[in-house]
Amino acid sequence: MLDKVKNVIIVLSGKGGVGKSTVSTQLALAMRHAGHKVGLLDIDLCGPSVPFLLGLEGSDIYQCDEGWVPIYTDESKTLAVMSIGFLLKSRTDPVIWRGPKKTMMIRQFLTDVKWDELDYLIIDTPPGTSDEHITVMECMREVPCNGAIIVTTPQGVALDDVRKEITFCKKTGIRLLGIVENMSGFVCPNCTNCTNIFSSNGGVELANHAQIPHLGTLPIDPRVGVLAGSTASVLDELPDSTTAQVLRGLVQHLDAVTAAGGP
């Protein structure tokens, strides 16, 4: 039930392990920091990381007459979270389902969650271009979706898979809001100098090639990793970090895009 949701943003990547869930959670926290009411929907069925990243593992969800009730991170109810991870007994429990059951669960999460009024709903999706993505896109045709943010890392093997994701979005009519390059360089926790331990600027080059905006470059910062398992925003804890600067700019960009014309 998305009738009370003003804006829907999908976070995608053609490659697993690029930090898509971390970007999704920190983006949600940054939007809350900016004064928005935010929902975060984790439909990565095989690797639901959001409950762990926000310190919400073990939370119980229940159903009411209007559908699934999301988990709120605090009494202000400014950040609501729903994930398949809440239905598993343990983080180590695998989801061993065939395609039709996965499709059914994704449809249920997209249509049967009782979201209150939200400024943004961020949807963290599985990597790749499989059945799960097709289901998401089919459901998104029935609701106003503002577009997708693509997450990549700078290495060539990741960029090759992300190019497929961009092609998938264009063929299915998903608006591409831009690319975020993650894990680009390592920030020393002592001196804060950034060293490119992998390649760099791959996301910039891909954005130029695909003619879509480059939304920022996020480094590997151990100080950000320490925040995993809590609802602490980088903007509060590390306001002068590169990660905070990029997230602040990303929120401003999304606010401008949605204000200019919505989906």
Q: Give the per-residue pLDDT at 179.
A: 94
Q: Is 39 annotated as a binding residue?
A: no
Cβ(50)–Cβ(83) below 8 Å? yes
H or E stretch at 50: helix 50-53
Burial of 228 (0-12, 13-18, 19+ CB in 10 A): middle
Domain boundaries, the chain: 5-258
Q: Is the pLDDT of residue 48 over 70?
A: yes
Instruction: Summarize pLDDT for 18-34 with one digit per residue, the tens.
Output: 889 999 999 999 999 99
- Residue-level pLDDT at 140: 67
Write out the two tokens for 3.
């009738």
**24 contacts: CB under 8 Å, gap ≥ 6:** 11, 40, 42, 50, 122, 124
178 appears as a binding residue in the annotation: no
| 4 marked among binding-site residues | no
Q: What is the pLDDT of residue 141?
A: 67
101 labelled ligand-binding:
no
160 and 49 Cβ atoms separated by less than 8 Å: no
18 is in an annotated binding site: yes
User: 49 labelled as ligand-binding?
Assistant: no
5-258 folds as Rossmann fold (3.40.50)
pLDDT in tens, 181-213: 999 889 888 888 888 887 778 888 889 988 999
- Can you tell me which residue has the tokens 């014309």? 261
Q: Is 233 annotated among the ligand-binding residues?
A: no
46 marked as binding residue: no
Q: Is the dihedral of CA 243, 245, 251, 257 positive or negative?
A: negative
Question: What is the SS3 assignment for 251?
Answer: helix
pLDDT tens, residue by residue, 112-121? 899 999 999 9
Query: 17: annotated binding-site residue?
Result: yes
188 is in an annotated binding site: yes
